[in-house]
Each structure stands twice: as C-alpha cells, then as structure tokens.
C-alpha cells in the first residue's frame, strides 16, 4: 500500500480518498483553506487519513492527486511534486476558469498546461470523466463481471503503471488513451465524459466495461 497525497479535497478528491482508505492506503489531504478545515473529513475517514498543507501533502505522497480548478495551476507546490507520480483529475471550464486561448483551441490540453507548472512530475490524466457519486458506487473487486473502466493518459510509462495499479486497488480497470497530447479525447463534453456511466440523476450509475470506454473514446472529435 502507498501514501496518497491530495491537493484539493472536494467531491472527486474526497471520493478517491475514501476509496483509497477502504483499500488500505494512507491519505494526506489538503485544500486551499488550511488543514484545520479538513478535521471532519479526516475524522470520518479514520486513522489512515491526515490533513496537511498542500506542500506537505505533495511531499508525503508516493502518488499525488491534483484536483483543483485550472486557475489554481500556477499556485501548485512544484518543488515537492518533482519526480512524483501525479494524477490530474482537472477539467477546464471557461465558465468557471475564464477563457484560456490555448485551451479554447487545439494547441494544448489542460494536462499539458498543468505539466508546465509541475515540471519533472510524472503526470497522468485520470478520474476526470466520472461523476463522484458514480465513482464511489461503481467500484468493484478485481474479476467482477461488472467492473468499470476509466480512461487514463500520460507520457510516462512508469507513472501510468503506478496509476493503473492504484486505480485497480480501489476498484477499477483502465483504458490507456495515449500521451497527454491525446487527453483531449477524455475532456469535458467528449463521449467518454460521464455518459458511459449513466446520468447523474441515477446516483448508483451504470457499469461501463472496457469495450464501452474504448467505443466512446473512438468517437471523440475536436
């Protein structure tokens, strides 16, 4: 088992942390408001969970989950993230983040933008396509007939392997979509974003196997 650091502990981050603790991992949570604001979450998660600053969470994690708005990228603790496997769950939304010309066009993906701010990290895009309630409810043990899959993208083979192992430990298989430059296939509004797991009105979600995820990725267009 590993220690997973979290920079951002909202709906997706908190759900991944809950699944990680249930799988036997240690988690170190952080947010923009300070460790003291996470006391209730830590108490709920139990003795495998602690709260810290973002820099401390980044330093503690063997894997670090970044789940923040795109506008927060410049404020990430770059130094302790260097050399770490980093999971990027972030989605770009102009209505929230404001317009970023490179992301509005096709010259850059949000993960490639993130990599500029944390050079030296092994960045893997994951968990950005699934509603947090579905993420919690659809986790299944290895070998389950209704095990769901999540798309991942990244440039580092070793980082992808580490993330694949972690995702497997918390109840999911993965579909490798290629390098970060191809992570637009799993961006907001693409066929694989949310749809395979059912509508958000169905809080339990619908299992989505490897074939369903590959089919959705294949129909993505820019």
- CA–CA gap between residue 126 and residue 203 (Å, rounded): 20
Which CATH number covers residue 190? Answer: 3.40.50.720
pTM: 0.96
Task: List beta partners, residue 49.
Answer: 27
Whether the pLDDT of residue 73 is over 90: the answer is yes
Predicted confidence at residue 102, as pLDDT, reads 87
How large a percentage of the chain has pLDDT more than 90? 95
pLDDT of residue 8: 97
Instruction: Give per-residue pLDDT as tens, 54-66.
Output: 999 999 999 999 9
The domain containing residue 209 runs over which residues? 3-218
* Residue 73 CA: distances (Å) to CA of 13, 36, 92, 127, 215: 16, 23, 11, 17, 31
**In the chain, how many domains are there?**
1
């Amino acid at each position: 088992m590993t220690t997973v650091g979290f920079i951002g502990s909202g709906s997706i981050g908190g759900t991944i942390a809950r699944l990680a603790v249930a799988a036997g991992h240690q988690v170190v949570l952080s947010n923009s408001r300070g460790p003291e604001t996470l006391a209730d979450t830590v108490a709920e998660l139990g003795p495998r969970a602690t709260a810290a600053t973002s820099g401390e969470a980044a330093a503690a994690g063997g894997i670090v989950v970044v789940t923040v708005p795109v506008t927060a990228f410049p404020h990430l603790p770059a130094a302790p993230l260097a050399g770490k496997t980093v999971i990027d769950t972030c989605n770009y939304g102009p209505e929230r983040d404001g317009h970023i010309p490179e992301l509005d066009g096709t010259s850059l993906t949000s993960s490639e933008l993130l990599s500029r701010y944390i050079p030296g990290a092994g960045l893997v895009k994951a968990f950005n396509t699934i509603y947090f309630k579905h993420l919690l409810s659809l986790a299944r043990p290895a070998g389950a007939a209704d095990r769901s899959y999540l798309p991942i993208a990244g440039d580092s083979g070793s980082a992808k392997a580490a993330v694949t192992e972690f995702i497997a430990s918390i109840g999911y298989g993965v579909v490798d979509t290629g390098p970060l430059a191809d992570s637009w296939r799993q961006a907001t509004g693409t066929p694989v974003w949310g749809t395979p797991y059912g509508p958000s009105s169905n809080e339990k979600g619908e299992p989505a196997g490897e074939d369903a995820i590959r089919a959705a990725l294949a129909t993505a267009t820019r």
